[in-house]
């Protein structure tokens, strides 16, 4: 097996020395996704729910480029700037992962890139 790198113009370009996704065997590991617009590079505004939706849409675009999709996500890790946003975030998350939802960790962090309120990464299969 060899490592594969995946990139799509439908999600923001990395802002550091990493890739949008790396594949190995039938597994895909996405980078952390914040609410950046792929075309403008600007942050989504509108609070935690708008940022959560944009972050998941970015992750979805990366997964589709790699031959996977949200239904094949095994595990997500969610980084929240404020744990008080957990319930509002969950409302958006449930729209994307309502049936057979993946395992998940959610942690509060001191800061995120671009002063984001949320960052999401996942492991999925092809």
Going from the first residue of the chain to its last (126 residues), give the mean pLDDT of each consecutive group of 10, the final group possibly shorter: 95 94 98 97 96 98 98 98 98 94 98 97 98
Domain 3-125 coded CATH 3.30.1330.40? yes
d(CA 39, CA 42): 8
Tell me the three-class secondary structure of 55-97, residue by residue: HHHHHHHHHHHCCCCHHHEEEEEEEECCHHHHHHHHHHHHHHC
Distance (Å, whole) CA 60 – CA 68: 9
Q: Which pLDDT belongs to residue 1?
A: 85
Q: Are 103 and 16 in contact (CB under 8 A)?
A: no
pLDDT of residue 113: 94
Sequence-distant (6+) residues with CB within 8 A of 27 are: 123, 124, 125, 126
User: Which pLDDT value is given to residue 11?
Assistant: 97
The CB density around residue 15, as the number of other CB atoms within 10 Å, is 12
Q: Specify burial of residue 40 (Cβ count, 10 A radius: 0-12, 13-18, 19+).
A: exposed
What is the structure's pLDDT at 15? 85
Q: And the tokens for 15?
A: 């802002």
């Amino acid at each position: 097996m060899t490592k594969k790198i995946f990139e799509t113009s439908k999600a923001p370009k990395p802002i550091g020395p990493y890739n949008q996704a790396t594949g190995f065997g039938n597994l895909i590991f996405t980078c952390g996704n914040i609410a950046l617009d792929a075309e403008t590079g600007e942050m989504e505004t509108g609070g935690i729910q708008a940022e959560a939706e944009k972050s998941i849409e970015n992750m979805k675009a990366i997964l589709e480029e790699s031959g996977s999709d949200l239904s094949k996500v095994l595990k997500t890790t969610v980084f929240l700037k404020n744990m008080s946003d957990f319930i509002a975030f969950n409302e958006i998350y449930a729209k994307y992962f309502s049936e057979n939802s993946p395992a998940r960790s959610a942690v509060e962090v001191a800061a995120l890139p671009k002063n984001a309120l949320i960052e999401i990464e996942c492991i999925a299969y092809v």
